[in-house]
Every structure is written in C-alpha cells, then in structure tokens.
Amino acid sequence: MCLAVPGKVLSVEDADPAFRSACVDFCGVRKNVSLAFTPEVRVGDYVLVHVGFALTRVDEEEAARTFAYLEEIGALEEEGLVPEGGEGARGGEGN
C-alpha cells in the first residue's frame, strides 16, 4: 500500500529550492525528506510525506488526526513508522 504520512519538520538543509531537504519526525521515527515540491516549508511545519517527498503542508490538528487513523488501521507498521517499543502516535515523542 502506498500512502502519505504526516510529520513535523525538525530541521531544513540547503538554500537551493531544488535540493532542499528536511529531517521530519513521525512521532519518534525520523527520516530525511525532500522539500523540492514544498519550498515554502519551514522548521516547525507539518508536512504530508509520500515516498520521501513532502507533498504539502498540513496543520498540526490534521496531522495528528491522520497519524492516529493510520495507526488505528495498522498502516504505520507497513510503512516502518512505528518507533521501537511499538508506541505510535499517542506514545512517542513530538505529541
């Protein structure tokens, strides 16, 4: 299954819009993500990420709702986005 997962931008690297990337936190799981499609994103923003690319910004409330739903249906395990110890959106950091 392919899906987009919300995460919080912790840091942004590179000033060139074509090569900007970010460290994004998915409730304790951190991944590097391309910001090529979302040059307006800043540290602290929430983004919807698919296959390593931030597709759009979302607000914190929408990110939390989406993450909780994905956790509920078991989709986070399929994507490798459950932190060690099995704690998901309600138990990891960044909540």
pLDDT at 75: 77
Looking at the chain, the number of H-run helices and the number of E-run strands are: 2, 5
Going along the chain from its start, the domains and CATH numbers come out as 5-79 (2.30.30.140)
SS3 17: coil
Q: What is the pLDDT of residues 42-61, one digit of tens each?
A: 999 999 999 999 999 999 99
Tokens of 73: 């249906």
- Residue carrying structure tokens 């929408």: 62
CA distance 39 to 84: 31
pLDDT tens-digit readout, 57-80: 999 999 989 888 888 888 777 666
Over the stretch 16-47, which tens digit does the pLDDT of each residue have?
A: 878 899 999 988 889 999 999 999 999 999 99
d(C-alpha 55, C-alpha 73), whole Å? 22
Terminal Cα-to-Cα distance of the chain (whole angstroms): 26
